[in-house]
Structure formats: C-alpha cells, structure tokens
Structure 1
C-alpha cells in the first residue's frame, strides 16, 4: 500500500525548514509513515529533495519527494501535479492532505483515479482569513475539501463541530496535534530567576505581539523580566524598535531548529501566547509538555488546551494590563507556577502523545484505503 502526501498550497518541506519545523515533519510523521506503508510520496511545490533536510538514506529509499519540473504559478502546479506525476499518483491507495488549502491535487486525483483523501482541518480559514478574494477562495476550497474527503482530521472539538456541519459527521475524526513527550519533557530550569518570558511563533500581526511588548514594559517596572521572541516574520524590526522605545529587555534570536526548542523552554520562567486567533497551537502544546507555566490569550484554539487557573492562565488579548498582571503572578508565585506547569504536563501526557496520535492517524488512512476498494 502506497501513501501520497500533499502539503499546503504552494509549500514544501523547505517552508517548514524556514520555520525550524522540518525535523518535526521528518521524525514525527515521515518516519512512522515509512514504517507503515510500502512507499510514501511527498508531492512538493518547491524544487527540493529529502536529502536537503536529512542524511537518513534508508528513509530516502522509502520516501520520495517529487519536485515540480520548471517554474509555474502555485495554482497551476496544484491543478497539473497529478498529471505531471501521474505514475506515482495512480499508485497511491490514499492521499494525506496536511492542510485544507492543499486539497486541489487530491480533488483532481479523486476525479481521475477515484483515489480517496484524508485532510486535516486545523484552522477555520474561511472565517479567520482577512476579507477579500483570498477569503472567498479559501471558503470554496474549505467547503469542497470537507465535502469530498473520505475522512477529515479535526484538531479541536470546535473544528470538529464546524467540519461536521459541512461533511457527514461519521467522516470527521478528532485527532489533535501532538508532541514528542520524551523530547519535550520537564527539565531543570536554567533561567536563574531572571524572569525570562518566552514566545515562540511567527512575528506577525495576528499574534498580537505589540500588546506583549506593552505588557512587558508595565511588568518590568514591578519585577525583573526579559522577553524572548523566538521566530521570524514581517514585524520583527517594528517589534525590536517598540521594545527599545519602551525600555524592555528583549531578544529576538530568530528561527531555531525544532530539536533545539526544549533548550529554550528550559531556560524560560513562563511561556506566553497573546494571539487574537489560534488553530491548535503546537508551540503551546510543547511548552505545556515541558512543564512551563503558560499565559495565553482567551481565544478558541488556546481554550482547547488551557483551563484558566488549572493548566494555565487566560487573559483578554485586547488588555495588555491583564497580560502583565498574569505574567507577574507566575513570575512571583512559585507555588502557582509549579502547579500550572505540572497540571499542563499531565494533560499533554494524557491526551497529546504524538506517537500514539500518528498511529491512530495511520490506522485511519489504511481503513480509508481498504474501504475504497470495496
């Protein structure tokens, strides 16, 4: 049985490498897929090969990365991908779409060969995208993808309910994002009581990071604190300037490889995620797995993980003062910080073990492939 993998529209493993996430894909997904299927094909939008990201030659024999021939717009690539790689597509018993925006080649393959596909639904693109033609296009893709998929993997209960309002409920399966529990484990705190506050993610508007800088400025007048924003994005220079202007002690290390993230978590005293919207944030799952007390905005994706005063602290993302107050609590109340970290770790260990969740997904993929043959 052969498996085909389809990334988000226009992307590839190189996009994950740019955000430090390629190793997570390779170790968390490609390796178990390769053990479960005779052959795995990754249909990329980028000129790349697996050897660009790993020296594992055995894995490269099991997982083929198929790059485009020549340059073309991403939509044209999506439409012609099953034609360009028709031999490999025809051999796939099932296609795995990593994001709903990547369903176009899967829909074409379904029409041409009857190949079933399973898609992740991890973000409500049609509702949360900015108004304009892009939102309309995403709404159409979302609806088509959900209706035509043989199975939908929803990452939160809210997204499961949304998907079940479009697709038959029996096709929708709740499989959340997971974490390597051994790698992201509680460790010795190495901050030395410096009040290190860690954010991990894209430096972009929807992450509400100016509010974080404002909160850090207010907080620094009361307790020692140091802000670390790990990641890249269009707002980096503006945020650096805002931090300097506000007198906030801050650093912007850029992107680090996913395998190094636990070191940054162990050097922090608190994790913060102030976003206006979230799907099912992997960075938060990893911080909770590492036993770090988490202060996060009160939005749907975060609420799926954090119960206020139990597994973390919630705040209104429009209120930097509330954010500063909650950060002060976890930095000054060790009993609270330890309790939040412990309860967060227990939740993640119980429900978000990546190895178990990927095994569940593989069972679903094989069942879909078998059912399509009947």
Structure 2
C-alpha cells in the first residue's frame, strides 16, 4: 500500500472544538496509508502533547503579524523539505497561509479547505477571502450541511465543491459512582441539586449571558449549579452579570479543563447557548458520555440533536425558552430517555473511525484528480459529493 505524507494545518491549538477534531482525525487515520503531521501557528495546549504522544510529527511556526513574510518563508521551506502529497487546512488563516506558501515553495500538494464555524455575521471581505481560498482548493470539508450550504451561498462556490463529514467523538472511559459523587462535591453541588455544565470558550459567540438570564428566571429551588469549563475574555463580564442578577452563588468558573469527559459524566445536562455553531464538539462529547443536551437551534446543531429524542432545542437568544428547558430537566426520567437517545445516535453516526474514513475518502479523491491532471495535462473531474439536498 502506498503511504502518502499529509499535513494538517490549523492556526491555534488552544482547547476548542476544531482542535479536538484535529486530534480525533490524526488518531483515526490509517497509518499504513497516511503519514500525518500537524502544523500550528500559536496557542499550544495539552492537545499538542497528546497528539505528539500518539506518534504524529508536530511543527510550530510562529505567526506574529497578519501579513508575516518570514512566517510564509518558513512554511514554504517546510513544504519543500517534507514534500507533502496533501494539505488539509482547518481555518481561513491556515487556508490562506497554505495557498501562498505553496506558491513560494513551488510545491503543489493538493489542498483541502474546511468550513466549521458557521459564523454568518462575518464581514464581506471574509467571504471574499474564503472564496479565494476555496477556489484554489481541491475540496472543502464541512462538518454540517447547514454550514456547507451557507458557505457555498456566501462565497458563490458550487455546492459540488463541498463534502459534509460530521465530527467524530471517542466514547469516554466510564467513571465510578463514587468518583462521580466526589467530583460533584468538589464542584459545590448541593444535595438534590442538579449540575448543568457548559464546555467551551468564554467568547461572545457562545452567548453565555443568555444562560445567566435563564438561570435568574428560574425559581431559586429550581436553579442548578452551573459549571463553566473553559477560559476566555468574557469571564469578568459574566461574573458581573451573575452578581447583578443575584445568581453568582449558582455559578462556578472552572477555567480550561483536561478532564471534560469526567465532568460530562458528573453533570446532569450540558447547556449550549451559541449564536452560531457548526457541529458542536461539546454536544457530541456530552452525547457520547450519556449527558443530555440543551442547545440553541442554530447552524448544524439540529442535525445533531433531535429535539425531544436525543436532547432539547430552544430558539437562539431566548432566555425564557432556555429556562423552561432547564426546568424540564428536573424530570429524571426525561434525562434518562434523552441520554439513551443521544448515546445511540453517536454510536451510529459519529465514531472517530467514521470521521477518519470519510475524510480519507475525500483525500483519496483529491489525489486521484491530481494524478489525472498530471498524466493528462487537464483538470480532473469535479467533486460530486455536495452538501445536503
């Protein structure tokens, strides 16, 4: 079997959904077929160490400015030295850097772009640059049908340029009842109180003020303990809002955690209040852990959470609706039913092996098209696996 060298590129390796998907993909790729490597530009985290321990060669080239010629020359030098067959870029910054570094290196590895954020409030120049990058890519992998459709529309690119590959997730190691009880005690959960968990960056797109307003709308005896696992620039503002609304005693800020699977098994449910989502890695991890999900019905989330079967959905930025969903989670039988539905869905559709296999199939198609063009002097056939119908 031929073994091709592959470079996964992402700008930052902080703890986030895309970064966890990079880790899942690198772990799941068939090492008999691929020799995967990782390149990132900033913000290392424990995920980098875990990827390296998994036998993946890791490169860090610091990008210090928006236009950084020394960075581009260093990236081009890496392309010349390592002679990759294919680059898969996981962000617009990584896509643009890859386009220009390939030109400087005079190397033409196939380029696969990504659509993951589903942030529709981006300015016009963002979509112009995204279209520029996609136009120079052999394929685009989106993690949701909604994200693929929206990006195709805003960039003017044909639907056939996109492949939809849902996120993958690994099943967690099950914790014991004693460990669960000890973790809930550590988080300050009172007897008979529920524990609601948020996992993600404390940034505006996550719309966490909506969660705090919903918490305040609940009767005091209904309020869960809310733990926020993640860091970010919004923490001070969130603490002030919670104090103003009189619910600061119900909140605990955990910062970045390396034990999210344990936290999810200790929680009674996960809450996601985002303005935009692609396909939420936090929701996937919760579902895999048997933790029910309450989420805003945005982006690719309705593709993942079947309302009333594998979780509860509410209209975005609707704190009263979120409060009503949180109140419903007081029903233990409902939580058990949602957890069963969520776990069954993840097992059927979102394994790490499925992520790697579907992504690898896109890589293979891109390399076949490149080989066809090399042998015939004409471009290969257009991709045919477009987004959702």
2:27 corresponds to 1:31: yes
Matched with 2:382 is none
Query: 1:196 deviation in Å?
Result: 0.8
Aligned match of 1:348: 346
CA shift for structure 1 position 41: 3.6
Counterpart of 2:214? 215
Do the aligned partners of residues 262 and 139 (structure 1) sit closer, same or farther apart at CA in structure 2, a change above 3 Å counting? same
Q: CA RMSD in A?
A: 3.0
2:107 aligns with one of 109, 113, 128: 113
- In structure 2, distance between residues paired with 1:318 and 1:57: 41
Evaluate the alpha carbon distance shift between residue 97 and residue 312 of structure 1 in structure 2; reply closer, same or farther with a 3 A threshold.
same
Corresponding position of 2:118: 124
SS in 2 for 1:340: helix
Contact 2:9 2:87 in 1 (8 A): yes
Equivalent residue runs for 1:108-257 within 5 Å: 108=100, 111=103, 112-125=106-119, 127-129=120-122, 135-165=123-153, 166-180=156-170, 182-183=171-172, 190=181, 191=184, 193-248=192-247, 249-257=250-258
Q: Check 1:46–1:330 CA distance in 2 against 1; reply closer, same or farther (3 A cut).
A: closer
Distance 1:46 1:217 in 2: 38
**Aligned match for 2:81, one of 70, 84, 88:** 88
CA distance in 1, matches of 2:26, 2:220: 47
2:95 counterpart of 1:103: yes
Deviations 1:249-274 (A, max 9, x none): 110010012xx111111111111111
Shift in CA distance, 237/299, structure 1 to aligned 2, threshold 3 Å: same
SS in 2 for 1:359: helix
TM value normalised by structure 2: 0.80
Report how far residue 214 of structure 1 moved. 1.7
Corresponding residue number in structure 2 for 1:5: 8
For 1:256, what is the secondary structure of its paired residue?
A: coil
Instruction: Give 1:158 shift.
Output: 1.4
Partner SS state of residue 88, structure 2 = strand
Deviation per residue, 1:144-194 (Å, 9 max, x gap): 2222211111111112333555444444211011110x2277985645642
The unaligned stretches of length 5 or more in structure 2 are: 185-190, 373-389
Task: Give runs of aligned pairs for residues 359-374 of structure 1, distance below 5 A.
Answer: 359-374=357-372
Given the superposition, is the C-alpha separation of residues 30 and 128 from structure 1 closer, same or farther in structure 2, using an over 3 Å criterion? same
**Contact kept? 1:97, 1:106, Cα under 8 Å:** yes
SS at match of 2:362: helix
Shift of 1:195: 1.0
Counterpart selection for 2:333 from 332, 335, 338 = 335
CA–CA distance in structure 2, aligned partners of residues 74 and 37 of structure 1: 35
Note closer, same or farther for the CA distance 1:235–1:22 as it changes in structure 2 (3 Å cut): same
Contact 2:80–2:107 under 8 Å retained in 1: no
Matching residue of 2:385? none
Cα offset, 1:227, TM superposition: 0.9
Q: Equivalents in 1 of 2:60, 2:47: separation in Å?
A: 12
Count of equivalent residues = 352
Pair 344,32 (structure 1): closer, same or farther in 2 beyond 3 Å: closer
Q: Relative to structure 1, is the Cα distance of residues 124 and 162 closer, same or farther in structure 2, using a 3 angstrom cutoff?
A: same
Gaps of 5+ in 1: 130-134
